[in-house]
Structure 1
Amino acid sequence: MTSTALELQGISKSFDGFQALTEADFSARWGEVHALLGENGAGKSSLMNIAAGLYAPEAGRMLVDDNLVQLGGPRDAARHHIGMVHQHFKLVKPFTVAENIMLGHPLASGEGSHRKRLAQLEAQIQAKAQALGFDIDPRQRTERLSIAEQQRVEILKVLLAGARILILDEPTAVLTDQEAERLLSTVHALARSGAAVILVTHKMADVKTYADRVTVMRGGRTVKTVDPRQVAVAELVQLTVGDSVAAAVRDERSPVGEARLRVRGLRTPQAGGRRALDGVDLTLHAGQIYGLAGVGGNGQSELAAALLGLDDRIEGDIQLEGFGDLKAASTSERRVLQVAAIPADRYGIALAGALSVAENFGIGQVHEGRYGPVWRLDRARMQADARDAVAAFDVQGVRNLDQKAALLSGGNAQKLVLAREFGRMPRIVLAHSPSRGLDVRAGAEVHARLLAARDAGAAVLLISEDLDEVLALADRVGVMTRGRIVAEFDQPADRQSIGQAMVHHS
């Protein structure tokens, strides 16, 4: 066996005239965890998508075990034992775990009845899951699994299909500290057993703790490959962004104003013997960031959906000062009331990927009549407003305002959402995992916008499973478990006490 598992040499790739990769290089060895670090839009995912057979390079070459290969698609990559777990999971939610895994498994076209082949696969899943320390029921429907469990299914899917070169794209972006530690310890052990693991990440702590080597990319080019144990975090940040990034600083002296939003007795319909929300009470004050922490799957997503008006089955009260029941407010009324919405799913909910950058920005003011009647929109004015907003919020990767929003990287897509929602200073900000999957610079810019909104008098709710983010920004911290807020802390809050509340009430 050669020491080099995968090598990419001089890779170039463009999309719609945009040069995503320029002569990028990367190599991973058998038996190592190799981290790939860079800002959003640096080309990391594009390079790994080429390694996984999803994109074809326009220049350069790829070697597996020192043998030149040309991939015609993901099936070719699988034949070369390459498997990729994407940041946005590719699971069929109504299917069981075993049915999802069978989609990419050799047993899918094997001999015997479907039921017999499925039973064989279920046994394989149980054996592999046990070896990896995963607690997975092969017969459980995927839609009932937590985010962490769905990720384990994706890993099982590629490993059972024969992958020995495992690419993980932002694997800890949606996990709690404990879940992330468990996952990375597992893949580290997998590498030590002889596999090659490529970790695409923004988290410096993950790189320093688990990676044997780290390659930094910037602007579609490879900058440098270093031993993370031999370099400081500050140097990695410098390599990643090219200059220093100022962290957002929470002003301890910010005064707290009147209660802007009161939530009382919020409940979802009972399903499967329990309620996702089971009596949520909280109050948001002007000039305050209320940070809601908790282990994933304890009702945070359902609370965000209720407050954002995405679920009309909610029981209880959401009273907005000066208006009344926010549940009764239409989308256009919410905008008039200056309620800013930053959902966790920026591509699925916050943006319409098939629409242009200008349309995604302007849609926030269409109902107010700023661009005239909907049957004859003033697109020139919309484009002018979008152009100013793109510049003001530093939305990179916008070659023209007519390009589809789906072509923006994660960080720049989030900046476009912020540009629209903060186009005028909001009175209420509802933010769910606003910096999930973002690099150091983009995350710092998001945090700065939330702090600026608070300092201007907005009441901000920050729902995040990243406890570091909550502690860095929040003036008051709540802990959510089993659909309720079970504890609250004023800053400076004790991290251990918050952690105990998260665990002991679950």
Structure 2
Amino acid sequence: MSILLQMKDIHKVYPNGTAANRGVDLTIHEGEIHALVGENGAGKSTLMKIMFGLEAPTSGTIEYKGAPVTFHGPKDAIRHGMGMVHQHFMLAPSLTVSENIVLGEEPRKGPLSLFRDRNKESQEIEKLIQTYGLKVDPQAKVETIPVGQKQRVEILKVLYKGARLLILDEPTAVLTPQETDELFDSIKALIKQGYTIIFITHKLREVMEISNRVTVLKAGKTIATLLTKDTNPEEISRLMVGREILFRVDKQPSVPQDIVLSIKELCASDDKGAPALCGITLDIRAGEVVGIAGVEGNGQTELVETITGLRKAISGEIRYFNEELIGKSIAQIRAMKIGHVPEDRQTTGSSLTSTIAENLILDHYRNPEFKWGPFQSKKKIKQFTKIMMDVYDVRAQNEDVMAGSLSGGNLQKVVIARELSKNPKLLIASQPTRGVDIGAIEFIHREIIKKRDGGAAVLLVSAELSEVMALSDRIAVVYEGEIVAVLENSSELTEEEIGYYMLGLGIKKQKEEVAAQ
């Protein structure tokens, strides 16, 4: 394969002294899927921003198709046939799919191109969708379509602008396994048509499945570039983290105690008013992890939001140590030793316009440990924040860095640190390791089990079935807003059996078994 792009000895030092890249070399071959991996803070995002013209390198050179290039902004990169799909979608929710795709590049007609050519736009979008097999309704409002389709809209946007080299930043972070499979099919189809893909991910299984080559970054430097077929997850993780990573969770059998959370006949609606939860009944005891398994969109989000006060229940009970939670405010619930790691770290998990320190004490800044007499003690807050940043490996210059400037993985660590540092008696963890690197995943898993062993009740929701199976003592499977099975997690339990219930096929099986008794 011919070389499409080369980045040589790239350095990036910010005015505050932070060195994000320290001599990175990256070579991309035309027509390949090239994976870029590294821990949170390894310099991946900065490198891609430099490649796409969002940042200027402090030193180093970029060659595109054999010629030196300097990008003064994304428009320069786009003119050279590059496109970037960001980890957090850059879409206008109130506009249609079609309007989002052509935004800024709308076809025009009439004198002086004064009028928008809706017919031409419709024809171009239909042709684009058919050509690349990225099926989505062009007339649907973006706010109404599933996450997987939003991902397709982002890809169609860059293809519409003529991109031949696509940078996909954590493209599967918010996708279900089924949506991920569909995305991979689309990526493979693009490669067959001569496109080149840079694929940034923390999921080594995806690296092995989809990429031709993989480059590992660590502490802002290139550690190695490997042929994917000649390596394995263990070698990649060792290069990323600098040590062996356990791809299993070491834990002792649980010793369940008293019921901490009791849910009875709970019903709730989704954002459109349609039924989302239908008679959910579940008990969670101190000293156990209960995992929720199910294809995303089957009520997991509504269940967590109803428990934590973010959504109103229609009927039923949610009792926490025999105290009813329904009707209580979010503040009241959070003051009851209930920790909540939300699935969306940006909108409900943090304040992006506040500092790391402010986020870490967001709902317990009135605690005596942060006071000096009647006043807040900046010294105590700073000490606490430094400890949390060290323990949870939050990589930032200092505690005064704005949360919105952190990478997705580092922001997730801030949320995890805040919720676990409160020593909750009930921990509700929704997608706790989404977007974090393998070293951090190992640490978060350990901390969740530590909370369980310390007597906390844990409700775990994850789109990663392997994570649910690794951490849970019992697994409740949801399908269309109902719990269709509660399974003891033993060595005999398989993903296939859980998947059977996740697809709704186990309901019939259970009824047949009951009838036969």
TM class by smaller structure:
over 0.9
Alignment of 1:434 with 2:432, yes or no, is yes
Counterpart-to-counterpart distance in 1, 2:71 and 2:243: 37
Counterpart-to-counterpart distance in 1, 2:122 and 2:459: 42
Counterpart-to-counterpart distance in 1, 2:327 and 2:457: 18
Counterpart-to-counterpart distance in 1, 2:316 and 2:103: 42
Alignment of 1:371 with 2:374, yes or no, is no
Counterpart-to-counterpart distance in 1, 2:212 and 2:494: 33
Alignment of 1:240 with 2:217, yes or no, is no
Kept in 2, the 8 Å contact 1:53–1:72? The answer is yes
Q: Is the partner of 2:78 in helix, strand or coil? A: helix
User: What is the deviation of 1:111?
Assistant: 5.4
- The 1:401–1:496 alpha-carbon spacing in structure 2 relative to 1, beyond 3 Å, is same
- The 1:114–1:453 alpha-carbon spacing in structure 2 relative to 1, beyond 3 Å, is farther
Kept in 2, the 8 Å contact 1:364–1:420? The answer is no
Q: Is the partner of 1:77 in helix, strand or coil? A: helix
Question: What does residue 181 of structure 1 align with?
Answer: 181
Question: What does residue 342 of structure 2 align with?
Answer: 343
Counterpart-to-counterpart distance in 2, 1:274 and 1:114: 43
Letter in 2 for 1:80: H
Question: What does residue 300 of structure 1 align with?
Answer: 300
Give CA deviations for 1:307-350 in whole Å, capped at 9, x if unaligned.
Answer: 2322246543221114322541442x334421011112223322
Counterpart-to-counterpart distance in 1, 2:358 and 2:270: 39
User: What is the deviation of 1:368?
Assistant: 3.7
Farther off after superposition, 256-265 or 459-468: 256-265
Alignment of 1:454 with 2:456, yes or no, is no
Kept in 2, the 8 Å contact 1:250–1:473? The answer is no
Aligned match for 2:467, one of 466, 469, 489: 469
Identity level (%): 36
Q: Is the partner of 2:216 in helix, strand or coil? A: strand
- The 1:344–1:366 alpha-carbon spacing in structure 2 relative to 1, beyond 3 Å, is same
User: What is the deviation of 1:405?
Assistant: 2.6
Counterpart-to-counterpart distance in 1, 2:328 and 2:471: 30
Farther off after superposition, 265-274 or 235-244: 265-274
Alignment of 1:19-168 (within 5 A): 19-104=19-104, 106-107=105-106, 117-168=117-168
Give CA deviations for 1:345-389 in whole Å, capped at 9, x if unaligned.
Answer: 223322222222222222332244543499842222222222233
Kept in 1, the 8 Å contact 2:52–2:82? The answer is yes
Give CA deviations for 1:172-214 in whole Å, capped at 9, x if unaligned.
Answer: 2222222212211221221132111111011111111221111
Give CA deviations for 1:407-446 in whole Å, capped at 9, x if unaligned.
Answer: 3333332232222222242110011101011111011111
Aligned match for 1:395, one of 393, 396, 405: 393
Runs of 4+ in 1 over 6 A off after TM superposition: 112-115
Letter in 2 for 1:481: Y
Give CA deviations for 1:388-417 in whole Å, capped at 9, x if unaligned.
Answer: 3333x2433233222223333333322322
User: What is the deviation of 1:451?
Assistant: 0.8
Q: Is the partner of 1:366 in helix, strand or coil? A: coil
Q: Is the partner of 2:217 in helix, strand or coil? A: strand
Q: Is the partner of 1:93 in helix, strand or coil? A: coil
Give CA deviations for 1:468-496 in whole Å, capped at 9, x if unaligned.
Answer: 11111111112223222222221122211
- Contiguous gaps of at least 5 residues in structure 1: none
Q: Is the partner of 1:446 in helix, strand or coil? A: helix
- The 1:232–1:349 alpha-carbon spacing in structure 2 relative to 1, beyond 3 Å, is same
Farther off after superposition, 352-361 or 23-32: 352-361
- The 1:327–1:29 alpha-carbon spacing in structure 2 relative to 1, beyond 3 Å, is farther
Aligned match for 2:412, one of 411, 414, 421: 414
Counterpart-to-counterpart distance in 2, 1:13 and 1:60: 9
Kept in 1, the 8 Å contact 2:416–2:432? The answer is no
Farther off after superposition, 480-489 or 84-93: 480-489
Kept in 1, the 8 Å contact 2:214–2:227? The answer is yes
Give CA deviations for 1:14-71 in whole Å, capped at 9, x if unaligned.
Answer: 3332111112111211111111111111111111121122212121122221122211
Aligned match for 1:482, one of 480, 483, 486: 480
State how many pairs are aligned: 502
User: What is the deviation of 1:119?
Assistant: 3.6
Q: Is the partner of 1:296 in helix, strand or coil? A: coil
- The 1:185–1:123 alpha-carbon spacing in structure 2 relative to 1, beyond 3 Å, is same
Farther off after superposition, 190-199 or 125-134: 125-134
Letter in 1 for 2:21: L
Question: What does residue 223 of structure 1 align with?
Answer: 223
Farther off after superposition, 265-274 or 405-414: 265-274
Q: Is the partner of 2:503 in helix, strand or coil? A: helix
Letter in 2 for 1:88: H
- The 1:375–1:184 alpha-carbon spacing in structure 2 relative to 1, beyond 3 Å, is farther
Kept in 1, the 8 Å contact 2:286–2:456? The answer is yes
- The 1:8–1:400 alpha-carbon spacing in structure 2 relative to 1, beyond 3 Å, is same
Kept in 2, the 8 Å contact 1:342–1:432? The answer is yes
Question: What does residue 354 of structure 1 align with?
Answer: 353
Question: What does residue 309 of structure 2 align with?
Answer: 309
Q: Is the partner of 2:11 in helix, strand or coil? A: strand
- The 1:72–1:459 alpha-carbon spacing in structure 2 relative to 1, beyond 3 Å, is same
* TM-score of the aligned structures, taking structure 2 as reference length: 0.91
Alpha-carbon RMSD across the aligned residues, in angstroms, is 2.4
Q: Is the partner of 2:126 in helix, strand or coil? A: helix
* TM-score of the aligned structures, taking structure 1 as reference length: 0.92
Question: What does residue 334 of structure 1 align with?
Answer: 333
Counterpart-to-counterpart distance in 2, 1:416 and 1:36: 24
User: What is the deviation of 1:456?
Assistant: 1.0
